[in-house]
Structure 1
Amino acid sequence: MTSQDAAPEDAGEQLTLIPVPQAPARTGRAPGRTARPVGALEIASDLPVARVVLDLVPHHLDQTFDYLVPASMAAGAQPGVRVKARFGPQEVDGYVLARAASSDHDGRLVPLKRLVSAEQVLTPQVAALCRTVADHYAGTLSDVLRLAIPPRHARAEAAPSGGEADAPTEVQGAADAGAPGDAAPPAAVAEHAPAPDPARPSAWAPYRGGAAFLHHLVGGSAPRAVWTALPGRVAEGVPAQAPRAGAADKEPEDPAQAVQHWALALAEAVRATVTGGRGALVVLPDARDVDQMARALELAGYAPHTARRTGQFVRLTADEGPSPRYRSFLAALRGEVRIVIGTRAAAFAPVQDLGLVACWNDGEETLAEPRSPYPHAREVLALRSELEGAAFLLGSVSRTVQAQALLESGWAREVAAPREVLRARAPRVRALTSVELAAEGAAAAARLPSAAWRAVRDALVSGPVLVQVPRAGYLPVVACARCRTAAHCGTCHGPLMLPGPGAPPQCAWCGALAGAWSCDECHWTGLRSVRVGSGRTAEELGRAFPGVAVRVSGASAPGGVISVVGPRPAVIVATPGAEPVAEGGYAAALLLDAALSTAHVGLAVAQDALHRWLAAAGLVRSAREGGQVLLVGDAAPGPTNALVRWDPAGFADRELAERRELDLPPAVRVAAVTGDRQAVEAVVARVGLADASTTLGPVEVPEAAGRPARGGAGRDPSLQPPVRTIVRVPLREGRLLARELSASLAVRSAKREGGSVRVQLDPKEML
C-alpha cells in the first residue's frame, strides 16, 4: 500500500512490523514454568541464568556477569566450563561460575554465545582460591585465572581418560600398585599406597618433629611446618655403583645416585599423605628440581602418568609443552592421579581431596610470578592450606625471613635437625677474606688465592669440584684501562661488555658493537675487566689446572644447564641456580666473588646471597668425607658468618628482628605503587590508609634493567622518569589495604585516567 492510496483517517497510523518476542528484563519465575524464547532462541528451562567471569583487563570489570543459557547449552554450560560471551561489540572468553534461577540485573540479559568445551576445568576449590589470591594481592579474578588454568588443547581434551593405553582393571597388591612400571587404576592409589622399603631409613628420622609430621599426614590432619633440610646429595641406604668407562659425564643409570636428600624427604611426605587417602601437591622452583622430585617419587614406588601409560603422579611445567601440560592438568582434574609436582603455576592444580601442599626453596626468584597480580607460590599455597584444610610444608636448605615470620606468628611449627646431626652432614666451610689471607701479601688480592688453588688441586684427586660464579658471560662489565671509567654505549648509553675472547665490545642493552670505542674522559681505547663471568672463569681455571676437564653450566652457556655430572675429577663452573648434582657429591666447592653477592643495596641482598651459597654448599660431601667449601672475597659479615656456622635459622631470626624494629616487611604489609607521577598520586590519594605516617615517597626509580632510562640518549628529555610510592601498614590492616587499593584501581579504570601504574603487594624489594 502506498501513501496515496491510504484513507484520510489512517494517515497518522504507524504501520506495524511482524511481532518478535523480546527477552524478559528479569528471569524470576515460578517452579515448573516453561522457558521463554529470546527471538528464535529457546532458553533453558532449569536454572536459565549463568554467572560468568569474563577475561577482561579493566579493574572495574572484576565482577561476575549474568547471561541467559540457551536450551542447546543447558546440559553443557555447567559451573567451571569455558564459554564465549558477547560483551559490548566483542566476543570474550569466560568461565561459568554458577547457574541460578534468576538474576538481580534490571536490564536485558543476552544469551551465551558459545560453549567452548564441556570440560569443567575450574573447580569450586580453585575458583575460591583464585578469588582469595586476587583479593590478597589487589588484583582481578581474570588475571589469576590466566595463571591458574593452562590454555586449552582440544586434542588432549578429546583423548580417552587415562591415556592412550588401556589401564589394567585390577590391583595385584599394595606393592604392585605403586611399583614403577606397573600401571594401577587411579582409584586404587589411595587404598594401595606402596609400602616403604624397610632397608632404607626414613629421611625424616634425623629431624625433631619429623616423625610426628608424617604421623599427622597419615592420620588425615593438617599440620603446618617450616622445614630446614639437611645438606645431602643422594639417596641413603642405596649402594653406589662404580662408574662405567666413558660415563663420567652422563646421568647415572640408577636414579637413586642423582637424588638429593630433600627430594626423598618430600616423596616420603607425599607417600604418607596418599596413604591417608588424600592428594598431594609439590611446587618447585624449576624443571631440574621437578626432575629430582620425579626420581624420588619413582624410588618411593610411584610411576609417572603419561599419554601412553597410567601412573600415580603428573608433572605440571611450562617446559612440557602445551599438549602434555594440559593432559597432566586434566589427569589431576578428572581424579586419575592424586599427586602433582610442578613449577609455580602448579600451585593452582585441581588436586582432588587435597591433603598436603609443599613448596621447596621459597627463596628462589622463579617462584614469584612476574605477571599481575604478582603472587608468590609460598603465599598461594599458604592461602590454599587454610581454604581447603590441607597440611602445609615449606622447605629449604636455607630460610627466608618470610618463613621465619610464619614460625614466630605461630602459624607453622619448625622441623629441623639437631646441631650434632647437622655438623655430621655438612661440609667444612672456610671464608677466605682479606684478613684470613693477609699473610700472603699481594697474592691475597688475586681472584683465585693460593689457598683456594691448593684446595682445588687436592680435591681433584678424589672427585669433581664446583665453582660458583655470580655472573654469566665472559666479561659482563668493562671499563677504561687508563682512568677506570665505566665503558658505555654511544647509542643508548648502556654498559659495554666483551662477549668472548678476541670479540669486539658490545652493548649489553641494545647489542650494538663498539669496535671504535674511546673513553669519554681520557679518550683512551683500551679496556679492562670490572666483572668476570663464568666463561672467562672457566678459561682461567683451564689454564690453572691443565689436563682437567672444565665444564660450564648456565642458561647462556654453550651446553646449557647441566643436570648431573659423574664422580670423576672435573671442574664445574656454574652460575647460581645452575649447579648440577654430582654423583657421590663434590669433593670441594669454591664460591668466587663473594663481595659482589652482597655489594648492592636491597632488603633481600644478604638473604639471597646466603641462600645461593648454601644451595651450592649442600651439594658437597660431608666434612668427615673430606668435603670443604671455600668462600672467596670480603662479603658482608652477616651472611658470611651464617655460612661458616651453617646457621640459616639464626640469620633469618636476626633479620626479622631488625625489620620489625624498622617497620619493614614481612613485619608490616607493604604495597608499592610504581608508574607515572600523576597516575601514582591519583591512585594513592584514594587509599584511606595512605596518610603521612604510612606513606613513603614518591621517589624516582630506574626503569627495568636492560632498558635505557627516560631522558637518556635518544629519548625525549621532557619525559619524567617513573616514581614509586610505598604504603606500609600493620599486618592486621593488610587486607583492608588490599581492598582499598583494588577500589582505587577500579575508579582509575572506570574514569580512564591516563598514565601507567603498577601495584604490587608484598614486594621482595622496596629500596
Structure 2
Amino acid sequence: MLPLLPLPHLNREFDYLVPAEFDEAAAVGVRVRVRFAGRLVDGFIVGRVAASDHPGKLGYLERVVSAERVLTPEIVDLVAAVAHRYAGTRADVLRLAVPPRHAKVEAEPVVDPPKIAAPEVDLDAWASYTHGAAFLDAVAAGRNPRAAWQVLPGEDWPARIAELAGTCAASGRSALVVVPDQRDLDRVAAACEAVNGTDSVVALSAGLGPAKRYRRWLSALRREVSIVVGTRSAVFAPVRNLGLIVLWDDGDDGYAEPRSPYPHAREIALLRAHGIGCSAVLAGHARTAEAEALVDAGWAHDLLAPRAVVRERQPHVVALADSDHALARDPGARAARLPAIAFDAARNALKNGLGVLVQVPRGGYVPSLACGKCRNPARCRRCNGPLALPSAPGADGAGTPTCRWCGIADANHRCTVCGSRTLRAVVIGAHRTAEELGRAFPGVPVHTSGGATVLDSVASGASLVISTVGAEPSTPGGYGAALLLDGWALLGRADLRAAEETLRRWMTAGALVRAGADGGRVVVVAESEIPTVQALVRWDPVGHARAQLDERIEVGFPPAVHVAAVDGSSAAIAALVEEAALPDGVEILGPVDLPEGQRHPAGGGSGRDDGFDGDVQRLLLRVSRGSGAALARALADAQAVRSARKNTESVRVQVDPIRIG
C-alpha cells in the first residue's frame, strides 16, 4: 500500500493486512484509508501478496474508500518515473495525477464505449507535409511513429489534430491531446467532436467543477471515450490502450507545474510515450530547443512542409530597417514605436476591409515608469515595487502612478536619484496602444484582448485588434496585417529562453495572417539583423531551434545538460549538498541571491515546500545528460535524510526548471 504522506523519507510502500470483509473490494488500484503513526491517512493499493517480508506486527486496513480502480498499472509506473525524473515523491505526483473522489459520480451507471469509424481526413492538407500521409498511415496501422510537427501558417491545426486523433481511435486505440490553455482546449475539443462525434470525445481541464471533472475523468478510465483532450494535468489521464499523445505548443509556460515536484507536461508525455511505446507528436508553429534535441537524437522525426509550400503559405514579413530605402523614407523608423511601414500595412489592410492584429508585450495602460530626467526606474516608497500607470490621466484622479506590488497610489512621486517629479513611459501597454491607434484611424472599431478579457475570435471586416502576447483572437479568413510592437521588450529579457519565446509569440500571431499572395503582411518592430527576426522573416523555426540548441550545448544549459536548482537559505542549501551523494562530474554554480519575483516556481503557484523565511538563495547543480538520473536520485535521497532527521528548514529542488535564473 502506498500512503499519501508528504515526507520524503516515507516515499515507499507499506504492508498492511486486509480484513476478510474487504478481501474482494481491496483490489489493486483502489483508494483506502489506513492508520499511520496514530492517524488516518489516504492511500492506494499498489499490490496484493500472500505474505509479507516485514518481521514486525502488521496493522489492518481501516477501510476501502471505493471499489473503483482509479490507479491503473500504467499510471503507477508513470508516477514513479516522474518522481524519479524530478527528485520528488510519488505521493506528490499522485496528487497531480488522480483527482479527488466524488462518491455520487462513481455511483452513476457506466456507459458502453462508442464505436469509432475512421474519420474523413483531408488528404490534401496532410499532403502539404513531407511524409504527412505516410505518418497518418503508420498511426492507422497501429505502428508508433514519433514526430516534431511544424504546422504551416494559416493551417486549421485543430482539425488536423482531430483527424490524427480520430485515425488512432479508429484503429482500436485511444488518443490523448494536451493543450496549454482553455481557449486551445475549446477549439481542439470542438474539432475532435466534429470529426469523430461527441460521444467519443471528453475534455478535461482544471476549470471544471469537482463533479464534472471527476465524471469526465472516470469516462476516460472506464474507456467510455476514445479521445481525451485536456490541459496540463490531462497528461496523466488514465486512458486505456493509449496509442497516441499529441502535445500542442510545448514551449508554453502553462505546461510547467507550479506544485512539487514541478514537472513539465512535455517531459511527462515523453516519459509516458517511451514507457508504453505509443506514438508521440510535439506540434506547433514554432519549435523549442527540447523538441529539436529529440529530432537530433533520432527519438523523433521531422514532420515538415517543403520550403516552397512554406513560402506559399506564409505572410509577407517585413522587419524594421529591412532596407536602406525604408530608412530613407522614414528616418525616424529606428526610434518610432510604430514606424511608417507599420502604418502603411495597417492602412492597406483596413482599406481592403480586413482586420489588423497589433501585438504588444504588456497589458494595462503604462505598465512601467521611469524618471523623466535620469531614467531611473520609478519605485514605490512603501515597498520598493515598480510603479505603473493603470489608466489614462483624468480629472477624477485616474491615471495616478500606482505600485504594482502593494497597490498604493503615489501622486507625489519624487525620483530617489535626482529628485525630479517627472515620469516617462518605459513600456506602453495594450490599453494605451488602443487609445493611440484609435486616434490614428478614426471610425475603425478597436478591440482589446488580454488580461481579464481574452477574446476567442473577432468578426471579419476592417477593425483593429490590440492583443497582449498569447491572447491573440482568430478571425475568419485571417488578418490582413499583424504589427508586432516593442520587440526589444521581448528579446531584451534576461532569460535563457528569450529568443525562443519571442519567435514563438511572433509566429503565433503571424500564423493568423493571410498568406503573402493574398495580401497578408507582418511588420515586426525590431532590428532586422537580429537572428530571431531573420528566422521570422524566413519563417524558419527549425533553423532557429537548431541554433538555440547549439548555443545551449556551447554554454552548457538544458536540454544539452541536466540542471537542478536548489532554493533556500545558504545554510540549508549547504547542508543538502553536503548530504547528497552527487554524481561524478557535477558542476556547482552559486549560490546567488534569488530575486523576490522568482521565489515561487514557474507558473505563479505555490508548492508544498515554499515556506521560505528571510533571504533566499539559489544553487545550480549541472551534470551531463547521462548523469541526470543519478543527480535526481542523489537529491531525492538527501531530501529523505533531512526529512527523517526532522529538519524543518525549507529547501526547494527543481530539476530542469524552465526559468533558471
Q: Provide the TM-score with structure 1 as the length reference.
A: 0.81
Asked if structure 1 preserves the Cα contact closer than 8 Å seen for 2:482 and 2:522, the reply is yes
- State the partner residue of 1:58: 7
- Point out the structure with max Rg over C-alpha: 1
- Give the alignment partner of residue 405 of structure 1, picking from 287, 293, 296: 293
Q: For 1:159, which of 83, 89, 108 is the aligned residue? A: 108
1:635 is displaced (CA, Å) by 7.7
**Alpha-carbon shift at residue 720 of structure 1 (Å):** 5.9
Residue 486 of structure 1 corresponds to 377
Select 2:516's aligned residue among 623, 637, 640. Answer: 623
- 1:353-394 Cα offsets, whole Å, 9 max, x none, are 110011010010001111111111111111111211211111
| Structure 1 residue identity aligned to 2:430 | S
- 1:542 maps to a residue whose letter is G
CA–CA distance in 2 between the matches of 1:693 and 1:408? 24
Distance in 2 (CA, whole Å) between partners of 1:635 and 1:296 is: 38
Letter in 2 for 1:395: A
In the alignment, does 2:586 pair up with 1:586?
no
Cα deviation code 1:265-311 (max 9, x no counterpart): 211111211121111001011111111112221331321xxxxxxx0
SS at match of 1:99: coil
Give the letter for the 1:289 counterpart: D
One-letter amino acid matched to 1:320: L
- Deviation of the 1:510 alpha carbon: 1.1
The superposition leaves residues 696-739 of structure 1 with CA deviations (integer Å, 9 ceiling, x where unpaired) of: 122222123599xxxxxxxxxxx863221111111111111111
Task: Write the mapping of 1:367-766 to structure 2, written as runs, cut at 5 A.
Answer: 367-433=255-321, 438-439=327-328, 440-442=330-332, 444-461=334-351, 462-502=353-393, 503=398, 504-556=400-452, 560-634=453-527, 637-689=530-582, 694-704=587-597, 721-766=615-660
Q: Cα–Cα, structure 1 residues 696 and 690, in superposed 2: closer, same or farther, change >3 Å?
A: farther
The CA deviation string for residues 220-253 of structure 1, in whole angstroms up to 9 with x for no partner, is 11111111111115xxxxxxxxxxxxxxxxxxxx
Deviations 1:115-158 (A, max 9, x none): 22211111111111111111111110011111111122222222
Q: What amino acid is aligned across from residue 443 of structure 2 in structure 1?
A: G
| Matched residue, 1:324 | 212
* Deviation readout 1:580-616 (Å, 9 max, x if unpaired): 1111111110000001111122211100000000011
Q: What SS is found at the alignment partner of 2:465? A: strand
CA contact (8 A) 1:674 1:757 kept: yes
Question: Which residue is 2:608 aligned to?
Answer: none
**Residues 191-237 of structure 1 deviation map (CA, whole Å, 9 limit, x = unaligned):** xx14416xx4443211112111111111111111111111115xxxx
Q: Secondary structure at the match of 1:445?
A: coil
Q: Is the 8 A contact 2:151 2:283 kept in 1?
A: yes
Cα distance in structure 2, aligned partners of 1:625 and 1:201 = 23
Measure, in 2, the Cα distance between the counterparts of 1:416 and 1:670.
31
| Alignment equivalent of 2:148, drawn from 226, 230, 244 | 226
Cα shift at 1:544: 1.0
TM-score by length of structure 2 reads: 0.94
Q: Residues 606 and 636 of structure 1 are in contact (CA less than 8 Å); yes or no, is this contact kept in structure 2?
A: no
- Secondary structure at the counterpart of residue 672 of structure 1: strand
Paired position in structure 2 for 1:124: 73
CA–CA separation in structure 2 for the residues paired with 1:470 and 1:573: 11
Aligned to 1:77: 26
Greater displacement, 502-511 / 545-554: 502-511
Q: Which amino acid aligns with 2:188?
A: M
Kept in 1, the 8 Å contact 2:389–2:401? The answer is yes
Which deviates more from structure 2 when the two are superposed, residues 634-643 or residues 669-678? 634-643
- Alignment partners' CA distance in 2, 1:407 and 1:374: 25
Segment of structure 1 superposing worse, 628-637 or 220-229: 628-637
CA contact (8 A) 2:514 2:520 kept: yes
Using the alignment, how far apart are the partners of 1:230 and 1:269 within structure 2?
16
Q: 1:745 to 1:207 in 2, by over 3 A?
A: same
Offset of 1:621 from its aligned partner? Answer: 0.5
Aligned partners of 1:633 and 1:669: how far apart in 2?
A: 33
Residue 689 of structure 1, CA deviation? 3.1
1:504-539 residue CA offsets vs partner (Å, 9 max, x unmatched) = 211111111212322223333332211111111111
Structure 2 equivalent of residue 268 of structure 1 = 163
Q: Where does 1:106-145 land on structure 2 (aligned, <5 Å)?
A: 106-145=55-94
Shifted more, 623-632 versus 318-327: the winner is: 318-327
Unaligned 5+ residue runs, structure 2? 601-612
**Contact 1:509–1:706 under 8 Å retained in 2:** no
Deviation string 1:477-517 (CA, Å, 9 cap, x unpaired) is: 11222332221111111111111112221111111121232
- In structure 1, the residue matched to 2:53 is 104
> Which protein has greater RCO, CA pairs closer than 8 Å, 6+ apart?
2
Deviations 1:653-700 (A, max 9, x none): 111122212222111111111111111111122333367862112222
Report the aligned-residue RMSD. Answer: 1.8
Q: For 2:464, give the aligned amino acid.
A: V
Amino acid across the alignment from 1:359 = L
Higher mean alpha-carbon deviation, 331-340 vs 69-78, is at 69-78
SS of equivalent to 1:684: helix
Q: Which residue is equivalent to 1:350?
A: 238
Equivalent residue letter for 2:213: R
* Deviation (angstroms), 1:646: 0.5
**CA separation of 1:447 and 1:379: change in aligned 2, threshold 3 A:** same
Partner of 2:604: none
2:355–2:463 contact (8 Å) kept in structure 1: yes
Change (3 A) 1:142 1:742: same
Tell me by how many angstroms 1:93 deviates. 1.4
What SS is found at the alignment partner of 2:125? coil
Kept in 1: contact 2:320–2:333 (CA 8 A)? no
Q: 1:470 touches 1:593 (CA, 8 Å); kept in 2?
A: yes
Contact residue 679 and residue 754 of structure 1 kept, 8 A? no
**2:107 alignment partner AA:** A
* Structure 2 counterpart SS, 1:742: helix
Unaligned runs of 5+ in 1: 1-51, 163-184, 234-260, 304-310, 708-718
Distance 1:692 1:414 in 2: 33
CA contact (8 A) 2:93 2:261 kept: yes
Q: Secondary structure at the match of 2:523?
A: strand
The change in CA–CA distance for 1:692 and 1:224 in structure 2 (over 3 A counts) is closer
CA distance in 1, matches of 2:425, 2:92: 44
Given that residues 428 and 628 in structure 1 are in contact (C-alpha distance below 8 angstroms), is that contact kept between their aligned partners in structure 2? yes
1:489–1:705 Cα change, 3 Å: farther
Q: How far, CA to CA, are the matches of 1:534 and 1:582 in structure 2? A: 19
Q: Is the 8 A contact 1:598 1:635 kept in 2?
A: no
CA displacement at 1:752 relative to structure 2: 2.1
